[in-house]
């Protein structure tokens, strides 16, 4: 996949979804503990594209991969420091 999104887009996708579901703004906190990650951003872009095209197979796989990468980023930067 060609890189078309900035490395911060992955965490912005998460904070936007969180705000949309719970109306709680956690962007500043997530910005502190989740670094820029091009892999996370590319997975988020793939997820958004799958949702746009309503490709449920890719959507499920992309969601799982995105979630695992996000958890890894949080673990590596919160619990390992």
* pLDDT tens, residue by residue, 3-33: 589 999 999 999 999 999 999 999 999 999 8
Higher pLDDT, 77 or 67: 67
The answer to whether residue 65 scores a pLDDT higher than 80 is: yes
Within-domain flag for 39: yes
2 inside domain: no
pLDDT for the residue numbered 3? 54
| Residue 72 structural domain | 35-81
Query: What is the pLDDT, as a whole number, of residue 81?
Result: 56
The length of the chain is 81
How many angstroms separate the CA atoms of 65 and 55, rounded?
15
Asked if the structure places residue 65 within a domain, the reply is yes
Rounded Cα–Cα distance for residues 62 and 74 (Å): 18
Report the number of distinct structural domains present in the chain: 1
Mean predicted confidence (pLDDT) in 40-66: 96
Classify 35 as helix, strand or coil: coil
What is the rounded average pLDDT of the residues 43-66?
96
């Amino acid at each position: 996949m060609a890189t078309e999104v900035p490395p911060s887009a992955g965490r912005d996708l998460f904070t936007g979804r969180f705000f949309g579901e719970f109306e709680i703004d956690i962007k500043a906190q997530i910005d502190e503990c989740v670094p820029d990650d091009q892999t996370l951003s590319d997975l988020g872009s793939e997820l958004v594209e799958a949702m746009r095209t309503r490709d449920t197979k890719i959507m499920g796989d992309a969601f799982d991969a995105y979630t695992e990468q996000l958890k890894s980023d949080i673990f590596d930067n919160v619990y390992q420091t």
